[in-house]
A and B are shown apart, each in its own frame.
Chain A
């Protein structure tokens, strides 16, 4: 399964949506995921891909991990996989 598809599955489960309803361009807020939910999504991503995500919930914008959209999260995950698992 491609990274984007796995990320969508995680987000869909968190947002209680069907995977098809998770648009690439949607932000987590658009999908109804609150700040606590974002932390859960990060946790699920770390578990799924066995990576460590640099995300600080105090200041998400300053984190070196783009959570602005589903697509951005997927791209950031792809990058971390390459960096951390080589």
Chain B
């Protein structure tokens, strides 16, 4: 049994915007959400920039008893999920509730709560931490709270595969609706790792940029972290049509692969195999892919290997594909990044507007890609792919089609 899968709701929350529409508008304006981070001990970090969510007041969103249970990664996921469900117009109850699932991605889970609690017992010498630390930090906290908030009583779990978490989650959700296992999935991902411990750990790898995220640029010098969440409603197409839902795009295919090579260095072959797979799984030809939302971290290794992998996967056809890395604007949102980036693919196939790669002074000549540089481009696109290549050599690529 194979069912077509469509997207009927989208929600997002990050420094680029507090709704999906705001995030997309900011992306198309080429806004940069990256700036000086603010949190305790930030002055002890050699890397002090990130796309940190500022001016967020949890009191306006959650009551006191909710706040003590919700780490920021859960709060962001709930905000995005609420928006997505509202947009979809779904009432999740009765039999439909058991046919509705939640699969979210996260790389760090409740890292803010861990950071704060370790500091309390080790640095501040406290002898107790808040009783809800365990239910706050667990990786499945966000998925579970989303299921509770919307009454989804079908399959619910969290996928953790570092930077590919939300692409793996959305791929899983897609396959569940396509197979008929569920009618509806709330899927995407969230992360909030911008705290002293989170960034201190990343500093050690020496892959963070001290001054900006410049994917594909010859001046690129590393990635920049961000935080936030993106959540979508993936729905059985017949179900969506029967209730007259507005359909944003069709989820057409998904593919994943493992490099089985190195824990941090990406492989051209593994990445190419996932891209080819995502196009084939959708029943598309490479020349139908008009837009690629690249993983594009702006590390020297990623961008070089990703460009080479695109050429391995698609040959000369890659020259007809517009490529961008929106991480230049929202930073690398880790387990939420694929979800935020899917917004740009939806905008590409739905509205024919391609999000730019900002901060691009001069493309690294060894990449040789058609990069959407600095300004959004109006160009009709019938299909798009979104790449995610994680530490651990885990590749997950999702393909979208314009719905017709």
Which A residues lie at the B interface, using CB under 8 A? 13-14, 16, 36-37, 39-40, 42-43, 46-47
Contact = CB atoms under 8 A, between A and B. Distances in A.
A46 B130 CA distance: 11
- Please provide the 4 A-B residue pairs with the shortest distance between their CB atoms, ordered closest to farther: A39-B131, A43-B131, A40-B131, A46-B128
A69 to B, nearest CB: 21
Interface string B46-81: 000000000000000001110010000000000000
A46 B127 CA distance: 10
Interface residues of B, number: 8
A43 B128 contact: yes
Interface in B107-140: 128, 130-132
Secondary structure type dominating chain B contacts: loop
Contacts of A42: 131
A40 B133 CA distance: 11
Contact of B65 (A37, A43, A46): A37
Contacts of A36: 131-132
Contacts of B130: 40, 43
A42 to B, nearest CB: 8
Contacts of A47: 128
Contacts of B63: 16
16 contacts: A13-B64, A14-B65, A16-B64, A16-B65, A36-B131, A36-B132, A37-B65, A39-B131, A40-B68, A40-B130, A40-B131, A40-B132, A43-B128, A43-B130, A43-B131, A47-B128
Given A36-B132, A37-B65, A40-B131, 14 more contacts: A13-B64, A14-B65, A16-B63, A16-B64, A16-B65, A39-B131, A40-B68, A40-B130, A40-B132, A42-B131, A43-B128, A43-B131, A46-B128, A47-B128
Contacts of A43: 128, 130-131
Nearest to B128: A46
B113 to A, nearest CB: 14
Contacts of A39: 131
Nearest to A42: B131
A53 to B, nearest CB: 10
Nearest to B68: A40
Contacts of A46: 128
